[in-house]
Amino acid sequence: MPLSSDIYERVVNAKLFIDNNFDGSLDLASISQQACFSPFHFHRLFTTIYRKTPHQYLTYKRLEKARLLLEKEGISITEVCNSVGFESLGSFSTLFKKQSGFAPQYYRNIAYLKKKLAKEQPKTFIPHCFVDTYKL
């Protein structure tokens, strides 16, 4: 079933609403209201267009932002969890590990070590073909 441009535009606007408000308390009803669809119809359309449910997409956005925040120093994991919209540290840690393969603290430690190594040995982070081409 081809979607009309009006329907597609309304679903995209709801996705942009998720992008701009992922750190707050969002539910399917509030998101679908942005597209002027019933929650069930919106869920079906969103999943058809993006191949993810609205909840999967929301979780993905939150975890991507969490990954960026964990790479910064001076922010506790609890603060990261709360700032990206999770209410439970346990569920945040479980979902983060499921998506990235690492627990949040371990991911933070790896990011810190990569930054440290990049400062100490910058050539190891430059691709070999680039080093050969420019004789570094």
Q: Is residue 86 classed exposed, middle or buried when 0-12, 13-18 and 19+ CB atoms within 10 A define those classes?
A: buried
What is the Cα–Cα distance from 70 to 114, expressed in whole angstroms? 13
Tokens of 10: 């309304």
Residue 111 lies in a domain: no
Least confident of 15-19, 53-57, 104-108, 114-118: 114-118
Return the pLDDT at 104.
95
What is the Cα–Cα distance from 121 to 108, expressed in whole angstroms? 20
Residue 38 lies in a domain: yes
Kindly indicate the confidence band of residue 115, based on its pLDDT and cuts at 50, 70 and 90: confident
Residue 21 lies in a domain: yes
What is the DSSP code (8-state) at residue 2?
A: P
The range of the structural domain enclosing residue 32 comes to 1-51
**For the chain, how many structural domains are there in total?**
1
Q: Would you tell me how many other CB atoms lie within 10 Å of the CB of residue 18?
A: 19
**Global pTM value:** 0.82
pLDDT tens for residues 55-110?
999 999 999 999 999 998 888 999 999 999 998 999 999 999 999 999 999 999 99
